Every structure is written in C-alpha cells, then in structure tokens.
Chain A
Amino acid sequence: DIQMTQSPSTLSASVGDRVTITCRASQSLTNWLAWYQQKPGKAPRLLIYKASILEGGVPSRFSGSGSGTEFTLTISSLQPDDFATYYCQEYNGPWTFGQGTKVEIK
C-alpha cells in the first residue's frame, strides 16, 4: 500500500502569513494527488486535485505543486477562515489520506 506522510503535523501561524504544507508518498503518484480542508464537525472539502488544479470556488490564495513523491500545499496569505486541518490524498492507489496538518492561530 501507498503511505502518505504530511509535515508538519501542527503549524502555528498568524493572519497574513505564507504557509506551506508538505506531503510525501512512498511511491510515485505522477500527479494523482488531492488536498482537502476540514473544519471541526464538518466533512472534508476539496481544494486542489491533480496536484495543482484549483477546485471551483476555492480562493486563489491556495495553490498546489509537486509531482512524483513530493507535493506541497501553499496558502499565500493566511486568512481567519483558513484555520483548519488539511489532508493530502493519493488516488493512484487505494485513495490513501495523509495524517493531516492542523493550522492553528499563533
């Protein structure tokens, strides 16, 4: 099975900060990777798919990059609504999720 490792597990940041989350896969995914945002008590929400394609309605401050085994999610200027947990997910194999990165207020 494919293993997905996110870092960091927790990130403390302030409004306006540039934030980067990394996701590493145990084998190449080409670019079959998605990012989701989840807030407490809610279902995950799709942000990015195919590593870098922004889902409709998602603010342009979110961006994704990478290919193969290393990927990043960047929030260019953190907004109050962005404090949440973020998950990467591969779909080259059995739809495995990373363990999550919680973005909290510094």
Chain B
Amino acid sequence: QVQLVESGGGVVQPGRSLRLSCVASGFTFSNYAMHWVRQAPGRWPEWVAFISVDGGNYYYADSVRGRFTIARDNFKNTLSLQMNSLRPEDAATYYCVREARSDFYRSHFDHWGQGALVTVSS
C-alpha cells in the first residue's frame, strides 16, 4: 500500500532553518509528481510546493518562494523541503502529498502522509 512518512519537524526559532524529509513506499515514486502542503492549527490546507516526476520543474506558493526549496531523490524514494528564514506564520503541520496521475497538466492529491509538525517560536 502507498505510504508517505514525513520526518524532521520540530521547534525552531524565527530566522532559522529546518529540513523536512518524506520517504515513499508502496508505489513507483519516480512516476509521480509530489507536493508539500501545510495546515496551520484551525486553518484549511495551503499548498506550498510542487516538484515534477524528474525534479526538473518546481513551483512554490508566493508565501514561501525564495525561502523554501523542494527536492526529490528518485533512487532513494525521498522528497525533501528545505525551509530557510522561517517565520512564525510558517508554523503548521507539513504534509508530503502524492499527485494523482492524469492526462491533464495538473491533478488532485490522492495520498497524504501523516504530517510533520513545525513550530516557529523564540
């Protein structure tokens, strides 16, 4: 079965960095585009970043562009999110998410990890 397991969450001071990782199993990782989605407490999910199947294309939400970097290693079946210059408003649960395969240029999200909690506080 499809499994996405995030790690790397924790408490970090404003301005510092944190790196999240996601290990994928149960499917051919290199065949799927992947995303990071975050959800602050009591809020709705917010898309953060996208990476294409080969890692050659990536997009970011305006709120994180220039500070966050998404990457993947198709040999190790891992997805990562390097988060720099963290702000209090970046505090959230971060989900590793698989995008369903589709003939359209974008698709919905068919599998989510359990999430990694990031707290930004001094």
Residues of A at the B interface (CB closer than 8 Å) are 32, 34, 36, 42-46, 49-50, 55, 87, 89, 91-92, 94-100
Asked if B46 is an interface residue, CB under 8 A from chain A, the answer is: yes
Chain A residues within an 8 Å CB radius of B111: 46
**What is the distance, in angstroms, from B22's C-beta to the closest C-beta of chain A?**
12
State which size class the interface on B falls in. 20 to 34
Docked-complex contact A46 and B108, CB < 8 angstroms: yes
B46 interface neighbour in A32, A45, A46, A97, Cβ under 8 Å: A97
**Pairwise interchain contact A46-B109, C-beta atoms closer than 8 A:** yes
Asked whether A91 and B107 contact (CB < 8 A) given A43-B95, A44-B45, A97-B47, the answer is: yes
- Let me know if A97 and B106 touch, CB within 8 A: no
Given contacts A43-B95, A43-B115, A49-B100, are A97 and B108 in contact (CB under 8 A)?
A: no
Give the chain A neighbours of B46 by CB distance below 8 A: 97
User: Do B95 and A95 touch across chains, with their CB atoms under 8 A apart?
Assistant: no
Q: Is the CB of A43 within 8 A of B113?
A: yes
Q: Which of A32, A43, A55, A99 contacts B106 (CB 8 A)?
A: A32
16 sample A-B contacts, Cβ–Cβ < 8 Å, listed by A number: A32-B106, A34-B108, A36-B45, A43-B95, A43-B115, A46-B108, A49-B100, A49-B107, A49-B108, A50-B108, A87-B45, A94-B47, A95-B35, A95-B50, A97-B46, A98-B44
**Residues from 41 to 100 in B contacting A, C-beta threshold 8 Å:** 44-47, 50, 59, 61, 95, 100
